[in-house]
């Protein structure tokens, strides 16, 4: 009987190992499928322009070339300036948005807050009844006077109702009321409870909304289109939009020759577009591994010991 139990235990372990191997293979295939488009863009940016014209897009081109990146060196000053603007806007905007969102969500998640219902409905209405493009433009340019100002890229996105709802749910489900009540009994104030107890427990949720916010700021170009005309304040994504939409104009202005076709042949238009995508995507893609542990931790946060 004991021998049969040992055999059964071995079979269960073998089945579990096989199942884990299968799921690991499936997840590896899924991860590779997510990385494949970005790898494809890198390959295109390193492909000789004539090969793209003759053979189209290929995963392994016949001739590699750094002509696209060499061509971007002509705009090196503007690219570097736009990169610094994007980094500043993303860092400052993410900090502000996360702070406002986390504190607002904590307030409306507490049952002892008298006006939690009012502020919850107020946040939902502001999301459902968005004012639109024209009122927002008038507020930013006329009321706040932020045209051609770096804050015009930050303030319109400094508060997100969707992230508030995420954090409100996180606080209610992952921050036990018993811990907060114990801290109040010990004499801790609300600010101390928030800083010493709630924030450490809410790090996975804060990391999640921070990542969403950072992606929003990094990929935003609409605010620059509306409020920015100074080239020194143009973010990287808007510079990418300019190059993508005005590549033919850049080709025509690149030379004084009357033969526009020859000028176009000299400038790697397709490769330059892809090179700009690589430059714009790579910095924010490198931040994902640093947030991964917080997503995993968010699934394992414990409760109150009974």
User: Which pTM value belongs to this model?
Assistant: 0.76
| Strand ranges for 5-102 from DSSP E | none
Q: What is the pLDDT of residues 229-282, one digit of tens each?
A: 888 888 888 888 877 776 666 566 555 455 544 555 566 777 777 887 788 787
Predicted confidence (pLDDT) at residue 290 exceeds the cutoff of 80: no
- Which residue did the predictor score with more confidence, 208 or 246? 208
Pull the structure tokens for residue 36. Answer: 């494949």
Class of domain 69-297: mainly alpha
Q: Quick check: 49 and 269 in contact, CB under 8 A?
A: yes
Residue 71 CB-half CA count within 13 A: 27
Helix, strand, or coil (residue 300)? coil
pLDDT of the residue at 250: 56
Predicted confidence (pLDDT) at residue 305 exceeds the cutoff of 50: no
From the list 233, 216, 183, the residue with the least C-alpha distance to 101 is: 216
Every domain of the chain and the residues it spans: 8-45, 69-297
From the list 96, 99, 120, the residue with the least C-alpha distance to 172 is: 120
Q: How far, in Å, CA of 271 to CA of 43, rounded? A: 9
């Amino acid at each position: 009987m004991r021998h049969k139990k040992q055999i059964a235990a071995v079979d269960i372990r073998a089945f579990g190992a096989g199942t884990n191997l299968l799921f690991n293979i499936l997840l590896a295939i899924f991860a590779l499928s997510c990385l494949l488009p970005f790898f494809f863009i890198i390959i295109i940016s390193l492909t000789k322009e004539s090969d793209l014209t003759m053979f189209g897009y290929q995963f392994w081109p016949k001739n590699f070339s750094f002509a696209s990146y060499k061509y971007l060196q002509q705009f090196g000053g503007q690219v570097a300036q736009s990169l610094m603007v994007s980094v500043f806007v993303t860092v400052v905007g993410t900090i502000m948005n996360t702070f406002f969102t986390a504190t607002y969500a904590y307030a409306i998640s507490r049952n002892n807050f008298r006006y939690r219902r009012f502020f919850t409905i107020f946040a939902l209405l502001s999301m459902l009844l968005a004012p639109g493009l024209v009122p927002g433009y008038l507020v930013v340019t006329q009321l706040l006077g932020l045209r051609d100002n770096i804050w015009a890229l930050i303030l319109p996105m400094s508060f997100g109702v969707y992230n508030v709802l995420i954090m409100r749910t996180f606080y209610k489900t992952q921050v036990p009321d018993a811990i907060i009540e114990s801290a109040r009994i010990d004499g801790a104030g609300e600010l101390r409870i928030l800083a010493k107890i709630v924030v450490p427990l809410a790090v996975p949720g804060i990391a999640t909304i921070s990542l969403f916010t950072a992606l929003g700021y990094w990929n935003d170009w609409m605010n620059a289109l509306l409020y920015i005309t100074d080239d020194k304040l143009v973010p990287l994504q808007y510079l990418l939009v300019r190059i993508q939409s005005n590549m033919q104009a850049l080709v025509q202005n690149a030379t004084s020759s009357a033969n526009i076709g020859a000028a176009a042949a000299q400038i790697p238009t397709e490769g330059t577009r892809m090179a700009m995508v690589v430059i714009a995507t790579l910095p924010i893609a490198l931040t994902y591994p640093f947030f991964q542990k917080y997503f995993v931790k968010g699934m394992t946060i414990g409760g109150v010991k009974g």
